[in-house]
């Protein structure tokens, strides 16, 4: 703690200094993290955010506006997802919280039916978001991980059915999945879930606020929502294609009976009976009110216009990538997708793009599971303005890399590094930090290593790294 108070100007300057190394979150240079509608009018929602900042969404008796707003949001999203009047749901802080709550609900329903000593399992395709495994690890479910189709990259319904046991508490499908933007065959999986009476969760965190609007403009979208009878719950993030501030998502259930498992009440302490719908107790109503404002401001026609722009940007990017010789992973059926290449080193492409101010998520894939390395594109309306500039830069990078041949010696030394990690002779972190290490500050080699070694080794190394990173900075102490 600083000894003395200081002026807000000094505080602001210090914060500004902290942000100097952040990636630029404007002008469409990011293809990840930010869903930019490119609409100045939406900035007014920031004022609403501030107005509701200190209303406590935990106690809707004290702040009845928060209950009304939350119920409105759930009703709006439910209607987009073909829900009927039984639909129940809540506003949460993000996709991960929505998923954690759905997993808790399915687990508690399973334990109620099968007894406290039963051992719930969850079937997830390899493309499911890590939030599911996180939920399983937090809440003691066993994960049954199944491969996806090697060409289309969607979940194979027969594999789901083969994996069902008496312990299956939940099946997961995505609409679409994050890595490749592929919508799983929810209709077929829904039939299996109905037949075996198993909970099916559809993760539409990324797709929930764009697929309904793509359908409205004539894009053929597979059925994935509550119109599929077997679907029990759906997670939909507003802070993605809903274009609302970060910290906003919705979890929906087919009916109130299923949602009841989500709720937490505790009257066994000297204080007031505590009831929480989600993971948090005290929570700012800011993201809730700002989300409501954005959704009401845009309305269906506003979202349709934004979906049209996003689609146009996506189509131009996909066409341009094909002309440059890149391959789309799967089919780019939605507005997020990934591309790969057999001709150039994608990890180098990403590094070169970054040097030119473009930021794409790198996906190392997995050699063991035959999942390609790829670069991820989260397309937003703003990208319609800069798609051509991006493709021009990518063209010059691609030509440059194609004219340089990868020296075999560097490949050999990377293979040696990978082998020494596999043999336990050295760790990833030691390599990253080692003064004479070829991996020092070299993300390309790091991605190559991640692609080739077991996820357990990577997870352990990253846990060590994060543990170390989250230590008070020398900067602050001084």
Ligand X SMILES: Cc1ncc(COP(=O)(O)O)c(C=O)c1O
C-beta of residue 171 within 8 angstroms of C-beta of residue 144: no
- From CA 76, how far away is CA 79, in angstroms rounded? 5
Peptide bond between residue 176 and the one before it cis (omega within 30 degrees of 0)? yes
Helices assigned H by DSSP within 277-285: none
For ligand X, which is the closer residue by CB, 60 or 337?
Answer: 337
- Least separation in angstroms between residue 183's CB and ligand X is 11
Q: Cβ-closest residue to ligand X?
A: 95
- Least separation in angstroms between residue 76's CB and ligand X is 19
For ligand X, which is the closer residue by CB, 341 or 361?
Answer: 361
For ligand X, which is the closer residue by CB, 97 or 444?
Answer: 97
For ligand X, which is the closer residue by CB, 109 or 129?
Answer: 129
Helix 346-355 and helix 383-403: axis angle, to 10°? 120
- Least separation in angstroms between residue 378's CB and ligand X is 8
Residues in touch with ligand X (CB under 6 A): 94-96, 129, 131, 174, 178, 203, 205-206, 237, 249
- Least separation in angstroms between residue 204's CB and ligand X is 8
The helix or strand, by DSSP H or E, that contains position 416, with its residue range, turns out to be helix 408-422
Measured in whole angstroms, how far is the alpha carbon of residue 199 from the centre of its chain? 22
C-beta of residue 325 within 8 angstroms of C-beta of residue 341: yes
CB-CB neighbours of 395 under 10 Å: 13
For ligand X, which is the closer residue by CB, 332 or 344?
Answer: 332
For ligand X, which is the closer residue by CB, 94 or 190?
Answer: 94
Going from the C-alpha of 92 to that of each of 160, 209, 281, the distances in angstroms are 29, 15, 11
- Least separation in angstroms between residue 206's CB and ligand X is 4
For ligand X, which is the closer residue by CB, 249 or 310?
Answer: 249
- From CA 25, how far away is CA 89, in angstroms rounded? 32
Burial string for 99-120 (b: 16+ CB within 10 Å, else e) reads bbbbbbbbbbbbbeeeeeeeeb
- From CA 103, how far away is CA 456, in angstroms rounded? 23
Strand pairing class (168-174; 142-146): unpaired
The token duo for 421 is 């990690």
For ligand X, which is the closer residue by CB, 242 or 448?
Answer: 242
For ligand X, which is the closer residue by CB, 92 or 341?
Answer: 92
For ligand X, which is the closer residue by CB, 69 or 236?
Answer: 236
- Least separation in angstroms between residue 92's CB and ligand X is 9
The token duo for 294 is 């954005």
Looking at residue 108, the DSSP 8-state letter turns out to be: H
The token duo for 154 is 């969607």
- Least separation in angstroms between residue 286's CB and ligand X is 16
The token duo for 6 is 């200081």
Angle at 375 between CA 369 and CA 379, to 5 degrees: 125
Query: Can you state the percent helix, strand and coil of the chain, rounding each to 5?
Result: 45, 15, 40
For ligand X, which is the closer residue by CB, 89 or 95?
Answer: 95
- Least separation in angstroms between residue 412's CB and ligand X is 37
For ligand X, which is the closer residue by CB, 168 or 244?
Answer: 244
- Least separation in angstroms between residue 424's CB and ligand X is 33
Closest CA to 263 of 249, 254, 271, 251: 251
Closest CA to 201 of 101, 280, 127: 101
- Least separation in angstroms between residue 236's CB and ligand X is 10
- Least separation in angstroms between residue 361's CB and ligand X is 10
Residues facing residue 371 across a β-bridge? 366
The token duo for 386 is 């800069």
- Least separation in angstroms between residue 365's CB and ligand X is 17
C-beta of residue 125 within 8 angstroms of C-beta of residue 148: yes
């Amino acid at each position: 703690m600083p000894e003395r108070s200081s002026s807000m100007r000094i505080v602001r300057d210090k914060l500004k200094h902290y942000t100097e190394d952040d990636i630029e979150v404007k002008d469409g240079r990011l293809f990840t993290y930010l869903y930019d509608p490119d609409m100045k009018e939406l900035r007014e929602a920031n004022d609403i955010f501030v107005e509701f900042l200190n209303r406590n969404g935990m106690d809707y008796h004290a702040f009845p506006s928060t209950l009304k707003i939350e119920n409105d949001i759930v009703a709006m999203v439910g209607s987009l997802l073909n829900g009927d009047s039984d639909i129940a749901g809540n506003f949460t802080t993000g996709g991960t919280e929505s998923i954690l709550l759905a997993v808790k609900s399915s687990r508690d329903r399973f334990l109620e039916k099968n007894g406290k000593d039963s051992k719930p399992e969850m079937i997830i395709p390899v493309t499911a978001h890590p939030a599911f495994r996180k939920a399983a690890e937090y809440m003691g479910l066993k994960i049954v991980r199944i491969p996806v189709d090697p060409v289309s990259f969607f979940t194979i319904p027969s594999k789901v059915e083969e994996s069902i046991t008496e312990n299956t508490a939940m099946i997961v499908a995505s609409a679409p999945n994050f890595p490749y933007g592929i919508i799983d065959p929810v209709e077929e999986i829904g039939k299996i879930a109905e037949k075996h009476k198993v909970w099916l969760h559809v993760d539409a965190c990324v797709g929930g606020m764009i697929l309904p609007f793509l359908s409205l403009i004539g894009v053929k979208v597979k059925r994935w929502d509550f119109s599929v009878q077997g679907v029990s719950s759906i997670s939909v993030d507003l802070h993605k294609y809903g274009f609302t501030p970060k910290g906003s998502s919705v979890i929906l259930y087919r009916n109130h009976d299923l949602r009841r498992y989500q709720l937490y009440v505790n009257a066994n302490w000297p204080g007031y009976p505590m009831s929480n719908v989600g993971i948090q107790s005290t929570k700012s109503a800011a993201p809730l009110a700002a989300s409501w404002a954005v959704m009401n401001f845009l309305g269906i026609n506003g979202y349709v216009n934004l979906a049209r722009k996003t689609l146009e940007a996506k189509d131009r990017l996909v066409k341009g990538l094909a002309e440059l010789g890149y391959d789309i992973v799967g089919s780019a059926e939605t507005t997020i997708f990934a591309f790969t290449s057999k001709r150039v080193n994608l990890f180098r492409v990403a590094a070169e793009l970054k040097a030119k101010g473009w930021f794409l998520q790198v996906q190392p894939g997995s050699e063991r599971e035959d999942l390609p390395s790829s670069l991820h594109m989260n397309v937003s309306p703003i990208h319609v303005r800069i798609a051509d500039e991006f493709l021009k830069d990518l063209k010059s990078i691609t030509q440059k890399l194609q004219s340089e041949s990868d020296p075999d010696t560097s490949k050999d030394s990377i293979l040696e590094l990978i082998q020494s990690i596999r043999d336990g002779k050295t760790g990833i972190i030691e390599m990253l930090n080692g003064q004479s290490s070829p991996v020092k500050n070299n993300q390309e080699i790091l991605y190559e290593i991640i692609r080739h070694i077991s996820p357990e080794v990577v997870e352990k190394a990253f846990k060590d790294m994060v543990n170390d990173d989250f230590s008070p900075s020398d900067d602050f102490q001084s």
